[in-house]
Amino acid sequence: MLYNIAIDITNHCNFDCIHCLRDKVAPRAHMSPDLLDLVLREMSSVGMMNVCLTGGEPALHPELNRVCDLLVDYGVRFSLVSNGFLFEDKILPLFDSKVRRHLDGVCFSLDGATSASHDMIRKEGSFDRVISSIEACVKEKIPVSVKSIVHSENRKDIVEVAHLCASIGAGSLGYVLLTPTPRLVSSNLLPTAEEYSEVIRQITGRIMPSFLLNISIEGFAHPDYRVPLCNPANGISFDHLGNFIFCCNLSHPTNGDSPNVFGREYLGNIREIGIEEGILRHYRTLAWFMDKVMRSDLKKDWPVNCTKCFRLFGKMKWMEADESADNRYR
């Protein structure tokens, strides 16, 4: 059932992470409060009352106080994803008691148990900032979840990441397996299929049973389960321009030096088609997607199922020129 709406409120970001999936060539823009008002009005009209604000980096939105006012006015519950760098300066001060009543939690990116492993793919000084942001939330009793990228340099640290998350007070930890991007491939930071399979074995066999944290693996679906219960089975997604996108992961993915071109993931714009037609198109695309996934052989080779999905939506065309990479990540 669709109950959640992911909204990119901006495509600006203060980081330039090596693994970033987002198109950095397209023009930068924030979602206007008027457009957010329309999205919230439409979703409320069909009883959808859960929002996840994402980006880019939400802290860069210049009218965040207006964004919070709208969430409160429409009575929706919300969560937010942040890299944590500007969180204490720009976001936390907006969480007054009125906003807090609607806030379900904040999800931070934490890509290692030390500044060396986190900062190497994010930004210098970003580890200290995100730890401080998490501590500030825990102190304020704001639920915290963590997403942690697993790449070839930090894959040996995944147990330490779980220890750090548990000790700092995070409630859940999602390890993220990476979908190739041009920069990831050229930087040799992508683990091999065998290395990722070992990571999956370690998380499921050793880490999950040992921690009280709610632990998941994102980007991976067990090949024995034929029905894809990933993002689009649970919610719909909007980009910063009000376009319905089939899955937030497919929202303007990088196409190397060329801008992303919309494919089947684009379902229409809220200003033109309204929420009901958008939901119908989402369900039709979900039926097509499930049919494709159930007919494919998920047991083959590269274990990151989002990569297979990116191919399905024509988002890996940039890789076809590099035959060896194209074969490695199939």
List interacting residues with ligand SF4 (CB under 6 A): 13, 15-17, 20, 22, 55-57, 83, 228, 230-232, 247, 249-250, 305-306, 309
Closest to ligand SF4 by CB, 16 vs 140, is: 16
Instruction: Report in angstroms how near the CB of residue 135 gets to ligand SF4 at its nearest.
Output: 20
b/e 80-94 (16+ beta carbons within 10 angstroms → b): bbbbbbbbbebbbee
Closest to ligand SF4 by CB, 231 vs 260, is: 231
Instruction: Report in angstroms how near the CB of residue 42 gets to ligand SF4 at its nearest.
Output: 22
Report the distance separating Cα 259 and Cα 174, nearest Å: 29
Instruction: Report in angstroms how near the CB of residue 235 gets to ligand SF4 at its nearest.
Output: 11
Closest to ligand SF4 by CB, 102 vs 311, is: 311
Residue-level length of the chain: 330
Phi/psi of residue 255, each to 5°? -125, 40
> Does an H or E element contain 36, and which?
helix 33-45
217: amino acid identity, one letter: I
Q: Judging by DSSP bridges, how do beta strands 214-218 and 77-82 pair with one another?
A: unpaired
Closest to ligand SF4 by CB, 42 vs 111, is: 111
Closest to ligand SF4 by CB, 74 vs 161, is: 161
Instruction: Report in angstroms how near the CB of residue 75 gets to ligand SF4 at its nearest.
Output: 28
Place of tokens 């089947």: 264
Closest to ligand SF4 by CB, 232 vs 242, is: 232
Closest to ligand SF4 by CB, 11 vs 40, is: 11
b/e 131-148 (16+ beta carbons within 10 angstroms → b): bebbebbeeeebbbbbbb
User: Which of 260, 248, 264 has its CA nearest to residue 306?
Assistant: 248
Neighbours of 186 (CB within 10 A): 11
Closest to ligand SF4 by CB, 74 vs 85, is: 85
Distance between terminal CA atoms of the chain?
30
Instruction: Report in angstroms how near the CB of residue 263 gets to ligand SF4 at its nearest.
Output: 12
DSSP H helical ranges for 147-229: 158-168, 182-187, 193-202, 208-210
Report the distance separating Cα 90 and Cα 129, nearest Å: 13
Instruction: Report in angstroms how near the CB of residue 56 gets to ligand SF4 at its nearest.
Output: 5
Instruction: Report in angstroms how near the CB of residue 19 gets to ligand SF4 at its nearest.
Output: 6
Instruction: Report in angstroms how near the CB of residue 72 gets to ligand SF4 at its nearest.
Output: 26
Q: DSSP letter at 207?
A: I
Q: DSSP letter at 203?
A: I
